[in-house]
Amino acid sequence: MPEGVVLDRSVGDGWQRLRLRATASLTGIATGSFARPSAHVPFQVAGEADFLGFAYTQFALPVVAGPRLDFDFDPAPNLHSPPVVGMLLGRVGRRYVWVAPLDHPHEQVIAVADGSLRWGWHGDLDVVPAGFSTTGSLAVELAPRDWELWVCAPRGERADAGDLRKYVTVESDLT
């Protein structure tokens, strides 16, 4: 994490909101590779997850992977995308984890590198003003067909989505 960037986190019932915030104006933070985030938070999905992501380039073409994060970012000779997605859906059994930007979607990515997932600022971002921030969300829910029932039910009657910490691990020593 570059000096001058902090991670703010808020946690709710089945979700976490992560915000990377610059505490000072920063220059020279680019990593030299769009797919290698400068300010980032590593995370992992527990269990044998299957993934559906939407490639950051190539018109957000869907890319899929198994537990080894074996996404195919080069699906055709004329289609090459860096190993990043804009949004990511993970599935373990009947549990789904959704990782997506809540603001500034052009500055944040979910990178796939060295067998791990990293959410944060893409590596081409070189200059940010003090106070600049991006917000991402991690949400765990029931199977998609249950989402409508869960969302539409009164809060006190919602099925328990469970403790997000059982399914997604985000490094906490970055705060």
Q: Pick 151 or 55 by higher pLDDT.
A: 55
Question: What average pLDDT does range 9-23 have in this prediction?
Answer: 88
Look at residue 175 and tell me whether its pLDDT is greater than 50: no
List residues bridging with 10 in a β-sheet: 17
Per-residue pLDDT band at 164 (split at 50, 70, 90) = very low
Burial track 61-80 (b if 16+ CB lie within 10 A, e otherwise) = eebebeeebebebeeeeeee
Q: Is the pTM of this model over 0.85?
A: no
**Phi, psi (deg, nearest 5) at residue 112:** -115, 110
117-128, pLDDT tens digit by residue? Answer: 999 999 999 999
Q: Pick 80 or 8 by higher pLDDT.
A: 8
C-alpha distances out from residue 171 to 91, 127, 135, Å: 20, 25, 16
pLDDT at 76: 78
Give residues with Cβ within 8 angstroms of 56, minimum separation 6: 81, 82, 84, 85, 86, 109, 122
C-alpha distances out from residue 163 to 7, 52, 55, 109, Å: 21, 22, 29, 25
Q: What percent of the chain has pLDDT over 90?
A: 46
Question: Which CATH fold topology does 5-155 show?
Answer: Beta-galactosidase; Chain A, domain 5 (2.70.98)
List residues bridging with 22 in a β-sheet: 5
pLDDT at 135: 93
Question: What average pLDDT does range 142-160 have in this prediction?
Answer: 47
Q: What percent of the chain has pLDDT over 70?
A: 79
59-104, pLDDT tens digit by residue? Answer: 778 889 999 999 988 877 887 889 999 999 998 887 888 899 999 9
Look at residue 141 and tell me whether its pLDDT is greater than 80: no
Question: Two tokens at 62?
Answer: 């869907």
